[in-house]
Chains A and B, each alone.
Chain A
């Protein structure tokens, strides 16, 4: 939300300079700020955008099929060191909380699927992973930095999103109350 005032301040600054070019640029900046804010906040408490992919094990991965489960949808990539720190925890959570209705789903944002497959095996991931693309990224408000994880409740609504390096305890505290006892 702080993006808009910053952009407007920039526009006012340009007005003082009486530079038409600057003003036009700043109006563009302000407009894109508004778009970015909408994209960043519109998913929260709304239905998670649905998608169907084929996972790295060549099985169909349909987000809708996980209705009734609490889903942690994790966007990651092999070049993202922070993502790899999270992975062992996700594996442990899947084992521990899977019986209570937790389902972790990974979306690799790598350009090369071979790299994702290699890491998938190395990290012994016990949850489905599919390759993402720019369309899926935009569907989720733009995946413009990793890691990015969405907490989706059993009704398919986004309850939280975690951008960047996040305290894993915080994620656990948020999904545990949503699970079956």
Chain B
């Protein structure tokens, strides 16, 4: 089927318009992200589960400090081996607990935060915890990206877990 010059230019115009519209929508979504949301964490600071495994094997000073900043009840059921509970990032008491834990550390220390309480776009804990560490001057903070939750994106995928406090 032949498409005339007018038809082709029409399709091209439509595609350009659609792309522009999509771009505007994405920008609007990005700018409307509340500061407390996990979406407020820059993409470059996100760490996927498969990228964390080699870091867990690191030894000595290279080993990251792994902090769970969600619910303690979830932590007690299952957490990443070697990680510590640092309080819920969504609550002032949790932020205070986090601050106490990292206070004496070098600001260049690699710290990996994770939660997994709920879907990434609903997590109330990671955004405030990340912002707190950034405000304290930490320059090497990562957030473990768990799209749905800790069960679906970590435990059920066979990554190592341990129980207890």
Residues of A within 8 A of B (CB): 2-4, 6-7, 10, 21-22, 25, 28-30, 32-34, 36-37, 40, 77, 79-82, 109-111, 132-134, 137-138, 142-147, 163-165
The smallest beta-carbon distance between A138 and chain B, in angstroms, is: 6
B158 x A6 contact (CB < 8 A):
yes
- CB-based nearest B residue for A164: B148
Which of A4, A21, A111 is the most central at the interface, judged by chain B CB atoms within 10 Å of its CB? A111
B158 x A109 contact (CB < 8 A):
no
B125 x A79 contact (CB < 8 A):
yes
Chain A binder among B11-19, B95-103, B136-144, B149-157:
B149-157
Determine whether B72 belongs to the interface, using a CB cutoff of 8 Å to chain A. Answer: yes
The smallest beta-carbon distance between B140 and chain A, in angstroms, is: 24
- CB-based nearest A residue for B121: A81
Q: A145-B116, A164-B148 are in contact. Are A22 and B157 (CB under 8 A)?
A: no
- CB-based nearest A residue for B165: A134
Q: In the assembled complex, which residues on chain A have CB atoms less than 8 Å from the CB atom of B74?
A: 109, 137, 143-145
A143 x B77 contact (CB < 8 A):
yes
B119 x A33 contact (CB < 8 A):
no
B122 x A82 contact (CB < 8 A):
yes
B158 x A80 contact (CB < 8 A):
no
Q: Which 8 A-B pairs have the closest CB atoms?
A: A145-B149, A33-B158, A144-B151, A7-B158, A134-B76, A3-B158, A145-B151, A81-B122
Name the contact of B149 in the complex, choosing from A4, A111, A144 (C-beta under 8 A): A144
Name the contact of B160 in the complex, choosing from A32, A79, A165 (C-beta under 8 A): A32
B157 x A6 contact (CB < 8 A):
yes
Q: In the assembled complex, which residues on chain B have CB atoms less than 8 Å from the CB atom of A82?
A: 118-119, 122
A181–B50 CA distance with the chains assembled, in angstroms: 50
Q: A79-B125, A145-B152 are in contact. Are A21 and B71 (CB under 8 A)?
A: no
Name the contact of B71 in the complex, choosing from A6, A30, A40, A77 (C-beta under 8 A): A77
Q: List 5 A-B contacts (CB under 8 A).
A: A7-B157, A28-B160, A109-B73, A132-B73, A134-B76
A79–B117 CA distance with the chains assembled, in angstroms: 8
Name the contact of A25 in the complex, choosing from B53, B78, B118 (C-beta under 8 A): B53
B150 x A144 contact (CB < 8 A):
yes
Determine whether B127 belongs to the interface, using a CB cutoff of 8 Å to chain A. Answer: no
Name the contact of B77 in the complex, choosing from A7, A25, A142, A147 (C-beta under 8 A): A142
A138 x B77 contact (CB < 8 A):
yes
Determine whether B64 belongs to the interface, using a CB cutoff of 8 Å to chain A. Answer: no
A165–B88 CA distance with the chains assembled, in angstroms: 21
A134 x B77 contact (CB < 8 A):
yes
Determine whether B161 belongs to the interface, using a CB cutoff of 8 Å to chain A. Answer: yes
B117 x A3 contact (CB < 8 A):
no
Q: In the assembled complex, which residues on chain B have CB atoms less than 8 Å from the CB atom of A145?
A: 74, 116-118, 148-152
Q: In the assembled complex, which residues on chain B have CB atoms less than 8 Å from the CB atom of A165?
A: 119
Chain B, 83-116, contact with A by CB distance < 8 Å: what is the 0/1 string? Answer: 0000010100000000000000000000000001
